[in-house]
Chains A and B, each alone.
Chain A
Amino acid sequence: MKKIAIYGKGGIGKSTTTANLSAAFSEMGLKVCQVGCDPKNDSTRLLLGHICRKTVLDVVRDNDAITSEDIVHTGYNQISCIEAGGPEPGVGCAGRGIIVALEKVRELNVLSDMDAVLYDVLGDVVCGGFAVPIREGYATDIYIVSSGELMSLYAANNIAKGIKRFALRGVVQLGGIIGNSRNTLNEKKLLQEFAARLNTYLITFIPRDSIVNEAENKRQTVIQYAADSDQAKVYRKLANMVLHNAKMTVPTPMDFEELEALAEKYGSKN
């Protein structure tokens, strides 16, 4: 079973990329489950065609006894969709929520017959709860989504620090950087060098394309909405690379000054 976690700065395109990746895997005939680890509950929206109506924590809150049917929803192409859920903004503890939700998922043993499980983790990893997918061995292959913007790289570098800590302990490794374009200057080259500095590589560079937004408005992945589009092909290629990725590494994060210098090197016109 492929156990994948997708991290990256808030709003960078993790959920969109993960959903398209899940869709592409399912087209390849894999049994796929996508687990949204974000109290916004929007990770699986493009697969379900709506915001998930019953999250794991919704069920935990109301019942003591839970069955897998309560929490596993079926989306596009038979993909299993789970949302951890969490409290309203500003109350309670979402990190604790993720821990409890993932424990429940494990307890119910709903992932055992999957070929691929993808964890889509909230953008700003603010506490230990959000490190649980990698800390507790739920996921083994970690990918970081980033654009060429400095703050996106900064977040990616911080995530790499976390991965390094857990990688040194065991099974977790970094699979690569997924470039999701924001059309900044020399973006692809910058991401390639950034990845190299982190001791990994730019596994795919996803162009920025309005088809993604069109599909999103229709509550669909690009793979479903425009199956023959170039963008869909990019996601399929990514799926293929992830599935056969042999370059798993322990990252070597940079310090902030180094990162700034790198962004400046590629980000100026001359």
Chain B
Amino acid sequence: MGVKTKRFIMKGKNCSCSMPGVWRALVCCKGAVVIFHSPRACAQLVRSMEVNAQYRVFSYGRKFDRHYDFVPLISTQMEERDSIFGGTERLLECIQFVVDKYQPECIAIGNSCIAGVIGDDVETIGDAAARQFKIPIITVSCYGFLDGEYYQGYFEMAQKLLRTFARPCRRKTKTVVLLGDNGGPWGHYAQEVAYLLNSLGIKILGQFPGYTAIAKIKDLVSAKAVVVLGSAGQADEGLLKLAELFGQFGVGQLPKGLYPIGWTNTQRWILALGELFNCREAAQQLVAMEGHRLLSAGRNFLPVTSGKRVILCIGRPLDYFNPALIIEIIKVLDMNLIKVILLDDYSNKEYKLIWEAIKHSTNILICKSESLDVRLDGDLILTTHELKECPVRQIFLPMLTKAGIGGMIDFMREIYRAFCHRGSRGGITYVW
């Protein structure tokens, strides 16, 4: 019969817009203003990202902290005439407006496709305006989706921010900077990491990029180490480069690619912190505590989950989704993983990578969704893409990574709840 997904699965290269990335790199950096040199409509995307971010904070059950206000986003509102005669005059007027209205400590400019197509020289205008108004104006080299995508805008802006504002300074012991976003300081990842660091007496100087006030960016490089909020693939590459840039200021880091995701890696991660901060004993104690936390949470769910038959459906490349965490959770809940189905046609390279990653964690059968004999049976399906005509209850795996034992427990609770629902046929649960 084969397995069909409800939505088209995006394949190959990321093809997003670089401007929201620019915005995200300064999203709550007090003192900054972001300008989109774009038609008005291009700013709409960020508007909905902003609303989503707020809802997500509420869904985590947290409140916004006043010093994390979103920075103003101003669009130059390019029109037809600017696309013909060039939009640089308008950009200059917009910068003047922003300076008068907000007296910012820094202006960041994202470029739209149209500015790229007509060849507006945004960098030169930015430099000239920076001299005129005597404030840093940071521009990026990518235009809309033309020669970059979300992460290009995000990381280029992050690197430039650090280069512009960081100053060599004395190191503060037992301090770190969180690198990356993953839902911001309210997000599950940052919260879980903060809890673990806190347990070891390590202080967080800030989260970068996006969540450190412009005036405080200079102090970030006094941290002993950066802690990368990584998970997999594309974002990680940029984060690791950013970590290297911190390294140029003498800031250290944990072993590359080691993140507190899943139980095995969380243990290794805590022990690595113990090494780096010279608190091995405390780290070992924390590992024991977390192990206990995991098992006692798991025990509560076992009466319902034990022996249940589960299928894992994955439609994202390894760059965007690491199966190890889910497979570990299945084991802790004593469930029976009956097969893994890889959705849609991965490229050969992607297929090989995800296949190897799965094989690394389990010996179970891996099949392709298009094979006709693939059946959707068992008690529960954990899936990255909603499945069509699926007779079994599905749990939709989240985009944002859930870190630490807290992340695992949240997940286990969702699975437990799915089994507790009345009736066992169909339906989908979303995990936030």
Contact = CB atoms under 8 A, between A and B. Distances in A.
Contacts of B10: none
A251 interface: no
A92 B80 contact: no
A38 to B, nearest CB: 14
A92 B83 CA distance: 6
Nearest to A61: B81
A88 B84 CA distance: 10
Contacts of B431: none
A92 B82 CA distance: 7
Contact of A86 (B84, B87, B117, B120): B84
Contacts of B118: 91-93, 96
Contact of A60 (B81, B87, B117): B81
Interface residues of A, number: 13
Interface size class of B (residues with CB under 8 A): 10 to 19
B21 to A, nearest CB: 25
Interface in B50-100: 80-88
A172 B216 CA distance: 65
Interface string A97-111: 100100000000000
A37 interface: no
Interface in A227-262: none
Interface string B115-138: 001111000000000000000000
Contacts of B88: 91
A100 B85 contact: no
A100 B80 CA distance: 8
Interface in B282-317: none
A35 interface: no
B80 A87 contact: no
B146 to A, nearest CB: 14
A57 B86 CA distance: 13
Contacts of A87: 84-86
A173 B117 CA distance: 31
A128 B225 CA distance: 53
Contacts of A91: 85-86, 88, 118-120
B180 to A, nearest CB: 38
Interface in B208-226: none
A45 B88 CA distance: 30
Contacts of B120: 91
A93 B87 CA distance: 10
Contacts of A60: 80-81, 84
Nearest to A92: B86
B306 to A, nearest CB: 65
Interface string B400-415: 0000000000000000
A93 B88 CA distance: 13
A96 B118 CA distance: 9
A232 B117 CA distance: 44
A99 to B, nearest CB: 9
A144 B82 CA distance: 32
A91 B89 CA distance: 11
Given A87-B86, A91-B88, 17 more contacts: A57-B85, A60-B80, A60-B81, A86-B84, A87-B84, A87-B85, A91-B118, A91-B119, A92-B82, A92-B84, A92-B85, A92-B87, A93-B83, A93-B119, A96-B84, A97-B84, A97-B85
Interface of A: 57, 60-61, 86-88, 91-94, 96-97, 100
What 7 A-B pairs have minimum CB-CB distances, sorted nearest first?
A91-B86, A92-B86, A97-B84, A93-B118, A92-B85, A87-B85, A92-B84
